[in-house]
Structure 1
Amino acid sequence: MNNLVVLVTISPRVITRTKNGDGSTTYNLLLITDMDAHSRAEEWKWRAISRKANLTLSASKMEISPRVITRTKNADGSTTYNLLLITDMDADSRAEEWKWRAISRKAKVTLSADKKEIKLDWIEGSDVNLTTGFNFKGRGMELSDLSEFNGHLISPDDKTGLLYEIKKDKAIPWVFLNSGPGNTTKGMKAEWLTIKDDLLYAGGHGTVASSSYLLTTTFSECVYTVNVKDFQEYLNSRGKVANDDAMWIKTITKTGKVTSHYWKNVYNTIRNTAQFPAPGYLTHEAVQWSKAREMWYFLPRKASKTPFVEEEDETKGTNLLIMGPEDLESVDLVYIGNRTVEHPERGFSAFDFIPDTEDELILAIKSKEVTGSEPESFITVFNVHGKALMEDQQIAGNYKFEAVYFAIPWVFLNSGPGNTTKGMKAEWLTIKDDLLYAGGHGTEYLNSRGKVANDDAMWIKTITKTGKVTSHYWKNVYNTIRNTAQFPAPGYLTHEAVQWSKAREMWYFLPRKASKTPFVEEEDETKGTNLLIMGPEDLESVDVVYIGNRTVEHPERGFSAFDFIPDTEDELILAIKSKEVTGSEPESFITVFNVHGKVIMKDQRIDGNYKFEAVYFV
């Protein structure tokens, strides 16, 4: 098998802006706290607070971020990947009054060097409750698939029609999908998601369906309920097609624009080729587009040569893999394992291609729902020719898992040169040349005798989109900045606010604290600066600008973050200052000035006793 070559591009930053009638522009602003010891919320639980604002500036083409996979190369040549699964618990998703949940679970999948053996290790204690208040007729958070779209983990709720963004233990509504051609207020029963041509595709069972239920949701502490229709049965009481809403699929752009497409011919082609013509049916919950193979792949959940009967449907699971070219005018069929279905009570609910296999290997989830017994889920691996590499393995717990995904990455930054297990004390982030830069205070740590204990904070990191970390020794850079600003050792400058300006091709630093004498904690509380330091790409020399007056008006306030105001060619800076003084509550302030040090908006206090340490135009 050929080696997989992955080409990735960095998605450029996207800013939301509103042009106003007076020529001004309004931007969305996001701030995040660093509450230090106050971040502890309760036993084994810590918190940060985010806050949003609008910034209006007077009159004075986006790319989709490609999917990123975390992989670990092992000494024996095998590769380990992170896997994420999410449940659809149906009626059991109700957690408490006006709250619904799904459960996510993590695992490690190891693929042998010859790509013929699979090992699965579940991560103990990884189950997380995902919660929401949105529901239909007391049903919600019945998440039916999972996909990473433009750097966001997206999952559809097949009861509400909502697409959620999954963030840790939260499900945040992103887009509402209308049923059928999109001209109704009824939510789509989305069962599968995939990415093709920079679009997110969402589809349903691909068969025809009828009944009724209530839509209930809460907004501003009020409860709203309306009658809508639920299309759960495939035919009406006379055996006629009630509607074909499930024959429609949706495409969604990065900005959330939804377009409806009629796939009746596609679904009928698949059904007829598999020899399940009407009044029989195939139902679909597991569909993927393979960019590597330029083919569509379908793992039908249920297959029947007779009309739908609910109890009979419980044992109509399939062993079919159906594939077709981009236009889906014709399809081919492969049997997974034997031609006879060994466990017809198990039906496919989701799958994902195993990375680095040219989409040759498939990891799939099956679930069992039989009246009178608890739900069960199973995981299996096979190739696109139908050969099984790992037989069904039951997933612990009586859950119906309906989404599986090789997870988006997380990166651990080691301190110093990267040869320790200690985490880096990262204080600032910026983007330059398609790399994420992370740095710390940029000063040495002294021991009790006043000697340098280590200079780990003189190292910075660059991180690629695939999560590869490289360490860079910036001692000369930090010393150049410190000496130019006239704070040589044993004095110091500390940095928490650093940005690279692509527009100006310059580095910009807003030092948090500045001292001509060695560090003393209580004295450091009033060492805030009014310095703006800038330098070219190589940072072999820098210039210093004073913001406002040369004298620091409020030395108890130190810069903690900044961002360039969009559409100003990085001429204007919006910065956050925070105050931490022993015996008083933390405070934060926001200010605006230009790169020449002219103040446009003086410090404005941010409500609440929080230390905000991040700001970003979103």
Structure 2
Amino acid sequence: MEALRADVARIERYDSSARQYTLAIIVDEDHASRVALESGQHVWQSTLRYDRLYRNPDPSTGKVTFRFEDVPAAKGGEHQLVSLMAEAGRGAEFSELVMFGKRLVTFDDRTGLVCEVRDENQLVPRHILMTGSGDEEFKGFKSEWATLKDDHLIVGSHGKKPAEEWVKILDRNYGLQSVDWHERYQKMREALRVGEHGYVIHEAAEWHPYRREWLFFPRKVSSEPFDEAIDERERGNNTLLIANEDFSDIRVVAVGERVPERGVSSFKLLPGHSDECVALKSVEIGDRTESYLFCFNLDGTILQDDIFIGDYKCEGLEIL
């Protein structure tokens, strides 16, 4: 019997009768990730949460609602991931989570490190991705989004600068290919009508294996040049991009109401219900950070309004 493609197996690991899901949510601690051990050695750490999501369809109307359950640390809901690798004094700034077969994989957006997470809290390094094509500069790839397409793991970046328009394609044995996606990022900018002076910042994407479509939910969209203070407060986005396989056709779908300080940092198709998604929004204004979870479907309908989940920046989400 032929094995399912990795992308199909991932979306079919629950069936349509599922009501309870286990979520893995990873926190990007930024500068706070650096900690000193009693020995004086410095390491870098991130928090990995394991929480629950309940899907509740109304038997009479079919309307779906969701409930999020925060699992306390004392009951196994919170673990620390520790890394010994850093770049320019920073590390363990993990930006995404993806189930690749039976492996939970995460990505450090400072060092370019690709790690498997084993036994809930053990990091096993598997690759180091380098910026751009991998040849220009001795700098880790700023991994921001990741998804499965067919039997490959696709890892991308913000797409705001040329070096961030490359994607990394990893096979099941972590063999690597770097591909320039400039034209695809440009087509998404054009679909969003940001003009030559504007920008789009991507942190969340999914490949839909049944529809054979790309789903991109930009975190920030602006028709004005980048200004950090304005970007933090006002550029949060609520529009989803749905593109065919070669990006020759892109639809723009409004998802709920825009909250200017909140932007999507990760989302996943809900296994067993492939037109529904669970997603994270994050806020980052100076030293203030917040994260929210919400659910929507691919026609733009909000199924669950924003739920506050913590005063920290959650950047990666996966359904286990």
Residue deviations 1:519-565, cap 9 Å, x none?
xxxxxxxxxxxxxxxxxxxxxxxxxxxxxxxxxxxxxxxxxxxxxxx
Whole-Å separation in 1 of the counterparts to 2:14 and 2:130: 37
Which of 313, 316, 319 is the equivalent residue of 1:403?
A: 316
Letter of the aligned partner of 1:90 in structure 2?
D
Which of 39, 44, 55 is the equivalent residue of 1:111?
A: 55
Letter of the aligned partner of 1:186 in structure 2?
K
RMSD of aligned alpha carbons: 2.2
Whole-Å separation in 1 of the counterparts to 2:299 and 2:103: 31
Equivalent runs, 1:441-456 vs 2, <5 Å: none
Q: Which residue of 1 aligns with 2:282?
A: 367
How many residues of Structure 1 are paired with residues of Structure 2 in the alignment? 306
Which of 58, 70, 90 is the equivalent residue of 2:30?
A: 90
SS in 2 for 1:83: strand
Equivalent runs, 1:599-618 vs 2, <5 Å: none
Residue deviations 1:284-323, cap 9 Å, x none?
0001101022110011011111111111110210001001
Q: Which residue of 2 aligns with 1:46?
A: none
Letter of the aligned partner of 1:80 in structure 2?
Q
Q: Which residue of 2 aligns with 1:67?
A: 10
Name the TM-score, length of structure 1 as normaliser: 0.48
Which of 184, 187, 190 is the equivalent residue of 1:272?
A: 190
Which of 104, 121, 125 is the equivalent residue of 1:153?
A: 104
Equivalent runs, 1:37-436 vs 2, <5 Å: 66-67=9-10, 79-96=19-36, 97-113=41-57, 114=62, 116-125=64-73, 126-167=77-118, 168-184=120-136, 185-208=138-161, 244-315=162-233, 316-338=235-257, 341=258, 343-357=259-273, 359-371=274-286, 373-396=287-310, 398-407=311-320
Letter of the aligned partner of 2:237 in structure 1?
T
Given the superposition, is the C-alpha separation of residues 65 and 382 from structure 1 closer, same or farther in structure 2, using an over 3 Å criterion?
closer
Indicate conservation of the 8 Å contact 2:50/2:71, yes or no.
yes
SS in 1 for 2:133: coil
Whole-Å separation in 2 of the counterparts to 1:328 and 1:78: 33
Given the superposition, is the C-alpha separation of residues 382 and 10 from structure 1 closer, same or farther in structure 2, using an over 3 Å criterion?
closer
Residue deviations 1:405-432, cap 9 Å, x none?
101xxxxxxxxxxxxxxxxxxxxxxxxx
Deviation at 1:71, TM superposition (A): 5.1
Deviation at 1:138, TM superposition (A): 1.4
Indicate conservation of the 8 Å contact 2:8/2:209, yes or no.
no
Given the superposition, is the C-alpha separation of residues 331 and 80 from structure 1 closer, same or farther in structure 2, using an over 3 Å criterion?
same
Name the TM-score, length of structure 2 as normaliser: 0.90
Whole-Å separation in 2 of the counterparts to 1:333 and 1:187: 32
- Which consecutive aligned stretches of 4+ in structure 1 deviate over 6 angstroms post-superposition? none
Given the superposition, is the C-alpha separation of residues 199 and 112 from structure 1 closer, same or farther in structure 2, using an over 3 Å criterion?
same
SS in 1 for 2:236: coil
Indicate conservation of the 8 Å contact 1:180/1:246, yes or no.
yes
Whole-Å separation in 2 of the counterparts to 1:322 and 1:68: 20
Whole-Å separation in 2 of the counterparts to 1:195 and 1:189: 18
Indicate conservation of the 8 Å contact 2:7/2:149, yes or no.
no
Given the superposition, is the C-alpha separation of residues 120 and 69 from structure 1 closer, same or farther in structure 2, using an over 3 Å criterion?
farther
